[in-house]
């Protein structure tokens, strides 16, 4: 993969981009589309289990820098689209094994979408993302730039998986294998949701909000250099915690907080089982 060349071209902007530069960028984008280059990848030595590949983020940003604004409209009068020439929609065929149901979805070039992925309209997958085999991206769901989604996940209707493209050293949002992200959930700012976790409807996760584990008596928070990490098999729901002092206490105000209410078991699996018939 062209990591060294991408880094050099990003760090030293030429007066004009040449055909050789565009061929380099295409090689890089081919690696993104094939899942060979990833904005983040598993790393057992990291506390979160993941590490950032900063050079990949530089390559994605390089594409925005290199690309000219062009007309991408199918019909300019009826529905105009204008974007960078370097990032058209992703080319897929029946042989790709991806099911895209008609109705206004879009997948940007420069992301990996695995076999058996189902895209329910309208949904959007942005550049740099990785969506593993067998995952469902439901209606009105967003997979943001560089987000990493595992195998056999369900990103439910209106769920938002935030994008983290800048700064280049920041970990993107990670959703590991077999995770259920419920409807209207939001996962942002490099949060890592570990394998087989379940996020109940309306759960919001980010670096600023502690997660209270009432099963194990722990509080999960993000550190300065570490993301918020949701444990394996955790079942997280939207909750509240009372303000303990001051006017907030006097007025009976509570703040939103995610709560781990249990860990996944056979009863949970029966409720959230993904039906093969839908695939």
Please check whether residue 64 lies inside any domain of the structure: yes
**What pLDDT, on the 0 to 100 scale, is given for residue 131?**
98
Please check whether residue 76 lies inside any domain of the structure: no
How far is the CA of 80 from the CAs of 71, 83, 101, 205, in angstroms? Answer: 8, 10, 22, 35
CATH number at residue 209: 2.160.10.10
Tell me: pLDDT of 274 over 70. no
Residues in Cβ contact with 87 at an 8 Å cutoff, skipping those fewer than 6 apart: 63, 64, 67, 108, 109, 110, 127
| 160 and 251 co-located in one domain | yes
Number of domains in the chain: 2
Percent of the chain with pLDDT over 90: 89
pLDDT digits (tens, 9 = 90+) for 76-126: 899 899 999 999 999 999 999 999 999 999 999 999 999 999 999 999 999
| 263 and 150 co-located in one domain | yes
Confidence of residue 277 (pLDDT cuts 50, 70, 90): low
Q: How many CA atoms lie within 13 A of 112 on its CB side?
A: 24
CATH number at residue 61: 1.10.166.10
Helix or strand holding residue 50 (H, E): strand 50-52
Rounded to an integer, the average pLDDT of 224-236 is 95
What's the domain range around 239?
A: 98-268
Whole-structure pTM value:
0.94
pLDDT digits (tens, 9 = 90+) for 151-187: 999 999 999 999 999 889 999 999 999 999 999 999 9
**What pLDDT, on the 0 to 100 scale, is given for residue 210?**
96
Classified as helix, coil or strand, 161 is strand
- What is the pLDDT of the chain when averaged over all its residues? 95
**What pLDDT, on the 0 to 100 scale, is given for residue 270?**
76
Rounded to an integer, the average pLDDT of 58-70 is 97
CA distance 171 to 128: 13
Tell me: pLDDT of 13 over 60. yes
| 123 and 241 co-located in one domain | yes
| 253 and 132 co-located in one domain | yes
| 153 and 255 co-located in one domain | yes
pLDDT digits (tens, 9 = 90+) for 238-264: 999 999 999 999 999 999 999 999 999
Confidence of residue 279 (pLDDT cuts 50, 70, 90): low
Rounded to an integer, the average pLDDT of 6-14 is 96
Please check whether residue 20 lies inside any domain of the structure: yes
Helix or strand holding residue 30 (H, E): helix 19-33
Q: Within the chain, what is the greatest distance between any pair of CA atoms?
A: 67
Please check whether residue 75 lies inside any domain of the structure: no
| 138 and 57 co-located in one domain | no
Tell me: pLDDT of 275 over 60. no
Tell me: pLDDT of 271 over 80. no
Higher pLDDT, 278 or 165: 165
């Amino acid at each position: 993969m062209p990591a060294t060349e991408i880094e050099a071209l990003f760090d030293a902007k030429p007066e004009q981009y040449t055909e050789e530069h565009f061929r380099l960028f295409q090689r890089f984008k081919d690696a993104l589309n094939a899942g060979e280059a990833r904005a983040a990848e598993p790393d057992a030595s990291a506390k979160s289990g993941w590490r950032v590949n900063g050079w990949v983020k530089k390559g994605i940003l390089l594409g925005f820098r290199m690309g000219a604004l062009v007309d991408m409209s199918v019909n300019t009068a009826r529905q105009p689209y204008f974007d960078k020439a370097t990032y058209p929609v992703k080319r897929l065929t029946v042989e790709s094994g991806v099911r895209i149901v008609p109705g206004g979805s879009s997948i940007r070039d420069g992301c990996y979408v695995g076999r058996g992925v189902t895209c329910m309209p309208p949904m959007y997958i942005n550049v740099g993302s990785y969506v593993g085999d067998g995952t469902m991206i439901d209606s009105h769901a967003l997979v943001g730039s560089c987000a990493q989604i595992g195998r056999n996940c369900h990103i439910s209707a209106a769920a938002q998986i935030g994008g983290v493209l800048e700064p280049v050293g920041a970990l993107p949002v990670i959703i590991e294998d077999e995770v259920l992200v419920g409807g209207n959930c939001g996962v942002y700012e490099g949060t890592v949701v570990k394998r087989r976790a379940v996020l109940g409807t309306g759960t919001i996760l980010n670096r600023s909000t502690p997660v209270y584990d009432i099963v194990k008596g722990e509080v999960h928070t993000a550190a300065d250099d570490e993301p918020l990490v949701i444990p394996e098999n955790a079942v997280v729901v939207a909750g509240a915690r009372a303000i303990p002092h001051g006017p907030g206490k006097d007025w009976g105000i509570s703040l939103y907080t995610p709560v781990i209410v249990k860990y996944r078991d056979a009863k949970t699996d029966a409720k959230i089982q993904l039906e093969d018939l839908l695939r």
